[in-house]
Amino acid sequence: MDFHQLWTIVSTPDNVPIVLLLFLVPFYTWYGMRQAFANDRLIAELEANPEMAKTHHRKTQPYKTGWAKEVHVWPYLLRIEFLAAIIVTVILMVWSITLNAPLEEPSNPTLTMNPSKAPWYFLGLQEMLVYFDPWMAGVVMPSLIIVGLMVIPYIDTNPLGNGYYTYKQRKFSILTFIFGFIVLWVSMIVIGTLIRGPGWMWFWPGTTWDHNRLIFEVNRDLPDIFGITTRVPKIIFGAIVVGLYLVAAGIGIHKLITKTAFNRRIYARMSVLQYVVMQTFLIIMLALPVKILARLMFRIKYIWVTPWFNI
């Protein structure tokens, strides 16, 4: 156990936000889900008792008849905002006094940094480079993430859970988002920051970053495993495998979104366009963990090899 190495990584000034993220993301996930479960319990009560549903004010927040429904922004909101501003200022000040922003040597194109890392918020994308070519990891995937986030409101036809925390009423969308945000985005950032060392090799926390370490990994292309060596059959074979993945993932996702009676009800509200867009983005999103598993378990480099692009 090399604690010195561990400390060097964790205390690198630009890694501090990740350490912060390691605490903040689980905390807020817990904080939000706790309210979701509290609300779910109340929902179950209201579902079971129609009389109560008519009279209850349908929130877990305390309520008494006679209380004003609304409060003045001044002072009840503005004082909170003022307090928040002060607290943020204090945090930022203390952080800035105690920790210096990094400044390395002057830029030198002839001296490559190893590992040379992007800013932490892009490390998820850089980590993706292990599994995909740059055009996919650096351009197509980020664009699809952005567009995919934008279309969320237009493909989510579930009218429940609008303006309150809930898990029960939105299981599929909550789980999908948590999968995308925490499993694929935050954890890949954490891996890229804390675990990837020289040569972008995997160093478990506590092991020494050995700049001379060599890993003999023979990653093979899928067509080669099947003994396909010439160009045209490779293209056709890859296209078939990718096509099979698309179909299989599509069927799997379809099964998932029509699993329960409630899910089927939401599914029935979707237009064809909404369904197609949702399938497209979910299939592509799922391709990332599938490719990661294919690499880690079967040492597969590319699935579809063509002269123009490889996937």
Partner 1 sequence: MADTNGQPEKPVDTGSPAAGNGSGNGPGNGSSAVAKVLADAKAVRARATEELKETIKAPEKTDVWKSILRVKHDETPRSRALGVLSNVFLHLHPAKINRDAVAYKYTWGMGGMTFYVYITLVFTGTLLMFYYHPSKIIAFRDILYLESDVPFGKLLRNMHRWGAHLMVIMVELHMFRVFLTGSYKKPREFNWVVGVLLLVLTLLLSFTGYLLPDDQLGFWAVTVGTNMARATPLLGHAGPFGPQLGMTPFNDVRFGLLGGSIVDSNALLRAYIWHCVAIPILASAFMVVHFWRVRKDGGISGPAPMMLEREIKDVRKI
> For partner 1, which stretch binds (CB under 8 A), given 38-46, 223-231, 240-248, 290-298?
38-46
Q: How far is the CB of 163 from partner 1 (least distance, A)?
A: 3
> What is the x/- site pattern for partner 1, positions 154-193, by CB under 8 A?
x-x--xxxxxxxx--xx--xx--x---x------------
Q: How far is the CB of 296 from partner 1 (least distance, A)?
A: 23
Query: Which listed range, 89-97, 204-212, 233-241, 282-290, lies at the site for partner 1 (CB under 8 A)?
Result: 89-97
Nearer to partner 1, 31 or 202 (CB): 31
As measured in angstroms, the least distance from the Cβ of 233 to partner 1 is 20
Q: How far from the centroid of its chain's Cα atoms is residue 237's Cα?
A: 31
Footprint (CB under 8 A) of partner 1, residues 208-267: 262, 265
- Residue 91: C-alpha distances to residues 19, 87, 88, 119 (Å): 16, 6, 5, 22
Dihedral Cα 272, 149, 301, 205, nearest 10 deg: -150
Other beta carbons less than 10 A from residue 91's beta carbon? 10
The yes or no reply on residue 107 touching partner 1 (CB under 8 A) is yes
DSSP per residue, 276-293: HHHHHHHHHHHHHHHHHH
Number of Cβ within 10 Å of residue 84's Cβ equals 10
Q: Is 110 in the site for partner 1 (CB under 8 A)?
A: no
Site for partner 1 in 119-148 (CB under 8 A): 119-122, 125-126, 133-135, 137-140, 146
Cβ neighbours, 10 Å, residue 114? 12
Spatial distance between the Cα atoms of 262 and 265, rounded to a whole number of angstroms: 5
Compute the distance between CA of residue 125 and CA of residue 128 in angstroms, rounded to an integer.
5
Position among 11, 37, 113, 252 found at the interface with partner 1 (CB under 8 A): 113
Q: What are phi and psi of 230, to 5 degrees?
A: -90, 160
Sequence-ordered list of residues with C-beta below 8 angstroms from that of 131, at least 6 positions apart, any chain: 137, 288, 291, 292, 295
Q: Counting contacts by CB under 8 A, is residue 293 touching partner 1? A: no
Q: How far is the CB of 167 from partner 1 (least distance, A)?
A: 9
Size of the site for partner 1 (CB under 8 A): 106
Q: Stretches 98-106, 216-224, 252-260, 275-283: which one binds partner 1 (CB under 8 A)?
A: 98-106
Is residue 60 within 8 Å of residue 38, measured between CB atoms? yes
Least gap, CB of 180 to partner 1 (angstroms): 10
Site for partner 1 in 48-87 (CB under 8 A): 53, 57-61, 67-78, 80-81, 84-85
